[in-house]
């Protein structure tokens, strides 16, 4: 009986081993008797919307040695050193290692690999790996991102869409003995990999070029800490360009300097928040009109300040704008008008629209690390806070969220979701992912939107945005200048200068945000940011063959008068006669510096800055 039981147990064990676990045991046996060499799959390409190649791959090789298989170590060491430019003694020492397999060199070219393969060196093996190549180097750096040494996406599009770009690795299996020596009678098996998919972006190489040139020029000309720009389709949310300086060459990633790498690889346009300053007045004006708190006939008197909750809040023009209608107040970017408007709207209604414009949430752009706006809790907002929010202080937003909300103001009242991916194609060209606009309608009415388009166009033709104008074209926009805060305290002498522009003004397709961080010297958005938005539009109009919409009027030129020593009121009156828009820096005193300088030729409808002290 016992013998029968033992016999049955033995039969059961044999069945378990032969049938149930046979595949696992075979795999373990294969691992003991075979060596696999990985063949890294080729990574998919990244293209712009027109098919311009932005990220490619090249095949390189890693050279391994199995010391037990190296029959002539001295000769093999000499061949390796000569072919790969290595130290012969170091290689010779490695070949005496007791480790079964050692790495000799990485990123070996195909030519070097073939030279080794056809040489008399023994015991060498090769794995295929992929090295990422960016044809334009320092271009779209923060958006494209980069990969690690194993070609895995680390930042930007490379990381966000890594699952589509990554392929499936292949490998070579070679039969060996127990100590790793290749068998003379062994068989090598090749398992092919699969290339990754191609990613096509909404970005446009040519529009990106205009934006890159603009941010570089702004940073250099104004000795700024940094500069950045976004170009977006105001109706769909497609991102045409996203440029940022300073930057770095994606073919030479500064991996040894982690602080620099983190600083320059992060997209500040998507991740960082900042006080928007006067560009936020676009929203305040739209909300005021939409709620009926104000109208285009609203009048405002600006003495240069408002008293709110016992606090004196100054207008940027400390001598005041005097009496003005709504259009004039927007053209002048008068803080008093927007304080009055915000207070008439009231905090509850104002916050309702802040939420409608999505400033309390992320935009949902297809990019990692997006930041979210910082708002004072609705219940805690005092009148003095609301007054400041009205002209863009006491609130912080991301640049991409600010641009999206401004687009809703001018596109008919529709809140778009910004996006970077257009489509993904497999290796046969079949589209496996296709992106499409996501639009939330009715944030404001078309009537309010049409009024705002008109008033913001007047800012460029007659107000603070004149430097963004392009002769013959209809452009709308708004300047912005905001003091920076560091650790919750105003950092004296540090500003963020901005401009939001859109075109064509009557039916906007392109909307642009320019941000200049800590410009030195002059810091007004009208001087530091607006001209570069004009440059971007000039490039777009030429590239897209957009014909002028109006016949340019002749522009009068004259010699800039000497204003040094005048009171701000006297100088302002003198320049107003010449139709020059006046920016005043400082609070009390006489004019101590002027831009443009006295004696130079300037055109009517330009912008001048008077520094008083």
Is residue 146 pLDDT above 60, yes or no?
Answer: yes
Q: What b-and-e string marks burial along 216-248, b requiring 16 or more CB atoms within 10 Å of the CB? A: bebbeebebbbbbbbbbbbbbbbbbbbbbbbbb
Residues 290 and 378 grouped into a single domain: yes
Query: What residues are annotated to the active site?
Result: 278
- How big is the CA angle at 469 (ends 465 and 473), to the nearest 5 degrees? 135
Beta bridge partner(s), residue 82: none
Pair (256, 347) in one structural domain: yes
Q: Are 158 and 165 in contact (CB under 8 A)?
A: yes
The full 3-state SS of 39-66, as one line of letters, equals: ECCCCCCEECCCCCEEEEEEEEEEEEEC
More confident residue, 9 or 384: 384
Instruction: State whether 548 and 562 are in the same domain.
Output: no
Mean pLDDT of 53-70: 90
* Same structural domain, 106 and 250: no
Please say which residue of 528, 552, 576 terminates a domain.
552
pLDDT-wise least confident of 6-10, 25-29, 567-571: 25-29
CB 563 within 8 A of CB 602: no
In whole angstroms, give the CA distance from residue 522 to residue 611.
Answer: 9
Q: Is there a domain that residue 6 lies in?
A: no
Q: What's the Cα-to-Cα distance from 183 to each of 6, 33, 148, 188, 419, rounded to whole Å?
A: 41, 10, 35, 10, 55
Residue 1 inside a domain? The answer is no
Cα–Cα distance measured from residue 41 to residue 25, given in angstroms and rounded to the nearest whole number: 28
pLDDT of 497: 97
Q: How many helices (H) and strands (E) does the chain have?
A: 21, 26
Q: Could you tell me if 143 and 229 lie in one domain? A: no
Distances (CA, A) of 67 to 100, 190, 216, 397: 7, 23, 53, 60
Q: CA–CA distance from 387 to each of 265, 321, 376, 392, 456 (Å)? A: 36, 18, 13, 9, 21
Contact 609, 583 (CB under 8 A): yes
Residue 7 banded pLDDT, cuts 50, 70, 90: low
Structure confidence at residue 550 (pLDDT) = 85
State yes or no: pLDDT of 235 exceeds 90: yes
Cis upstream peptide for 398 (omega within 30°): no
Which domain-ending residue is among 506, 529, 552?
552
Do residues 518 and 434 both lie within one domain? yes
Q: Which two tokens stand for residue 502?
A: 């859109």
Structure-token pair, residue 28: 């373990």
Same-domain pairing of 409 and 439: yes
Q: Are 339 and 294 in contact (CB under 8 A)?
A: no
Per DSSP, which regions of 216-342 are E strands? Answer: 226-233, 239-245, 299-302, 305-308, 311-314, 322-325
Q: Is residue 27 part of a domain?
A: no
Q: What is the three-class DSSP state of 351?
A: helix
Question: What's the pTM value of the predicted model, to 2 decimals?
Answer: 0.86
Q: Are 496 and 564 in contact (CB under 8 A)?
A: no
Domain count of the fold of the chain: 3
Establish if 28 belongs to a structural domain.
Answer: no
Per residue in 183-218, pLDDT (tens digit) is 455 555 656 678 999 999 999 999 999 999 999 999
Instruction: Give residue 374's pLDDT band: very low, low, confident or very high (50, 70, 90).
Output: very high
Contact 146, 158 (CB under 8 A): yes
Of 125, 136, 126, 123, nearest to 60 by C-alpha is 126
Taking Cα atoms as reference points, which of 432, 479, 487, 480 lies closest to residue 460? 479
Window from 26-30, 61-65, 390-394, 521-525 with minimum mean pLDDT: 26-30
Is residue 67 domain-shared with residue 93, that is, in the same domain?
Answer: yes
314 domain-assigned: yes
Q: Is 528 helix (H, G, I), strand (E, B) or coil?
A: helix
Query: What confidence tier does 43 reach under pLDDT thresholds 50, 70, 90?
Result: very high
pLDDT of residue 557: 87
pLDDT value, residue 8 = 54
Alpha helices, DSSP H, located in 56-131: 73-84, 88-94, 110-117
Say whether both 250 and 155 belong to one domain. Answer: no
At residue 33, does pLDDT exceed 50?
Answer: no
Percent of the chain scored above 90 by pLDDT?
Answer: 71
pLDDT of residue 188: 55
Burial tier of 115 (Cβ tally within 10 Å: 0-12, 13-18, 19+)? middle
φ, ψ for residue 358, nearest 5 deg: 75, 20
Whichever domain contains 577, its CATH number is: 3.30.10.20
The model's pLDDT over 498-553, given as tens digits with 9 standing for 90+, comes to 999 999 999 999 999 999 999 999 999 999 999 999 999 999 999 999 999 888 77
The H or E element spanning position 108 is strand 102-108
| Residue 580 shares a structural domain with residue 566 | yes
Q: What is the pLDDT of residue 293?
A: 97
Q: 101 in helix, strand or coil? A: coil
Residue 18 lies in a domain: no
Structural domain harbouring 318: 205-552
Strand runs labelled E in 414-520: 415-416, 421-425, 431-434, 439-440, 476-486, 489-503, 510-517
Q: Is residue 12 part of a domain?
A: no
Residues forming a β-bridge with 444: none
Q: Phi then psi for 256, rounded to 5 degrees?
A: -85, -10
pLDDT of residue 554: 80
In angstroms, rounded to a whole number, what is the distance separating the alpha carbons of residues 479 and 501?
A: 9
Angle at the Cα of 103 from the Cα atoms of 100 and 104, rounded to 5 degrees: 120
Residue 396 gets which letter from DSSP?
Answer: B
The answer to whether the CB of 223 falls within 8 A of the CB of 519 is yes
Q: Which of 154, 175, 200 finishes a domain?
A: 200
How many residues can be counted in the chain?
A: 613
Asked whether the predicted pLDDT for residue 35 surpasses 60, the reply is no
Cα–Cα distance between 304 and 335 in angstroms, integer? 9
Binned at pLDDT 50, 70 and 90, residue 25 comes out as very low
The enclosing domain of 333 has a CATH number of 3.40.710.10
Among the ranges 42-56, 489-503, 575-589, which has the highest mean pLDDT value? 42-56
pLDDT in tens, 286-328: 999 999 999 999 999 999 999 999 999 999 998 999 999 999 9
Mean pLDDT in residue range 32-59: 81
Quickly count: other Cβ atoms within 10 Å of residue 471's Cβ: 11
User: How much of the chain exceeds pLDDT 70, in percent?
Assistant: 90
Of 94-108, 323-337, 415-429, the one with minimum mean pLDDT is 94-108
Poorest-confidence range of 132-141, 185-194, 578-587? 185-194
**Does residue 449 sit in helix, strand or coil?**
helix
Sorted by sequence, the CB contacts under 8 Å of residue 329 that are 6+ apart come out as 300, 302, 321, 336, 337, 338
Whether residue 170 lies inside any domain: the answer is yes
The pLDDT of residue 460 is above 60:
yes
Token reading at 443? 């944030």
Same domain, 376 and 286: yes
Which among 277, 282, 278, 274 has a CA at the least distance from the CA of 234? 282
Identify whether the C-beta of residue 430 lies closer than 8 Å to the C-beta of residue 263.
no
Identify whether residues 432 and 514 lie together within a single domain: yes
Return the H-helix or E-strand segment holding 601. Answer: strand 601-603
């Amino acid at each position: 009986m016992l013998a029968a039981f033992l016999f049955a147990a033995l039969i059961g064990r044999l069945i378990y081993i032969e049938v149930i676990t046979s595949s696992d045991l075979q795999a373990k046996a294969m691992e003991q008797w075979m060596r696999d060499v990985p063949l890294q799959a080729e990574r998919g390409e990244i293209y712009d919307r027109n098919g311009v190649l932005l990220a490619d791959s090249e095949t390189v090789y890693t050279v391994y040695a199995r010391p037990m298989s190296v029959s002539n170590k001295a000769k093999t060491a000499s061949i390796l050193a000569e072919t790969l430019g290595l130290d012969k003694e170091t290689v010779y020492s490695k070949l005496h290692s007791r480790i079964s397999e050692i790495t000799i060199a990485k990123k070996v070219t195909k030519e070097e690999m073939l030279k080794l393969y056809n040489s008399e060196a023994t015991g060498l093996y090769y794995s295929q790996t992929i090295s990422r190549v960016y044809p334009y180097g320092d271009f779209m750096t923060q958006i494209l991102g980069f990969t690690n040494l194993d070609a895995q996406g680390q930042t930007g599009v490379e990381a966000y869409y890594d699952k589509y770009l990554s392929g499936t690795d292949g490998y070579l299996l070679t039969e060996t003995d127990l100590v790793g020596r290749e068998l003379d009678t062994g068989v090598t098996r090749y398992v092919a990999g699969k290339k990754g998919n191609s990613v096509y972006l909404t970005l446009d190489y040519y529009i990106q070029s205009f934006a890159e040139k603009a941010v570089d020029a702004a940073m250099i000309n104004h000795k700024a800490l940094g500069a950045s720009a976004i170009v977006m389709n105001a109706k769909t949310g497609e991102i045409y360009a996203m440029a940022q300086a300073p930057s770095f060459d994606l073919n030479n990633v500064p991996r040894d300097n982690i602080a620099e790498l983190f600083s320059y690889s992060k997209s500040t346009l998507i991740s960082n928040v900042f006080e928007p300053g006067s560009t936020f007045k676009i929203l305040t004006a739209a909300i005021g009109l939409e709620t009926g708190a104000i109208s285009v006939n609203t009048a405002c008197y600006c003495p240069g300040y408002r008293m709110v909750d016992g606090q004196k809040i100054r207008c940027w023009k400390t001598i005041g704008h005097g009496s003005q209608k709504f259009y004039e107040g927007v053209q002048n970017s008068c803080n008093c008008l927007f304080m009055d408007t915000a207070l008439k709207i009231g905090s509850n209604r104002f916050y309702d629209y802040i939420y409608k414009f999505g400033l309390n949430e992320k935009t949902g752009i297809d990019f990692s690390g997006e930041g979210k706006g910082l708002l004072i809790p609705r219940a805690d907002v005092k009148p003095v806070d609301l007054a400041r929010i009205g002209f863009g202080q006491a609130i912080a937003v991301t640049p991409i969220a600010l641009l999206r909300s401004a687009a809703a103001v001018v596109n008919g009242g529709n809140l778009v979701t910004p996006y970077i991916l257009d489509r993904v194609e497999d290796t046969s060209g079949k589209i496996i992912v296709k992106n499409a606009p996501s639009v939330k309608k009715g944030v404001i009415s078309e009537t309010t939107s049409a009024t705002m388009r008109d008033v913001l166009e007047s800012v460029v033709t007659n107000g603070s945005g004149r430097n963004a104008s392009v002769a013959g074209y209809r452009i709308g926009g708004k300047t912005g200048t905001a003091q920076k805060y560091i650790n919750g305290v105003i950092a004296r002498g540090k500003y963020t200068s901005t401009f939001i522009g859109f075109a064509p003004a009557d039916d906007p397709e392109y909307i642009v945000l320019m941000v200049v961080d800590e410009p030195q010297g002059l810091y007004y958005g009208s001087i530091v940011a607006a001209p570069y938005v004009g440059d971007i539009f000039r490039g777009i109009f030429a590239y897209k063959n957009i014909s002028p919409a109006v016949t340019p009027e002749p522009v009068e030129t004259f010699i800039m008068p000497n204003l040094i020593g005048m009171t701000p009121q006297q100088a302002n009156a003198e320049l107003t006669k010449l139709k020059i828009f006046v920016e005043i820096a400082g609070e009390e005193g006489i004019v101590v510096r002027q831009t443009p300088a006295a004696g130079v030729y300037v055109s009517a409808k330009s912008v001048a800055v008077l520094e008083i002290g």
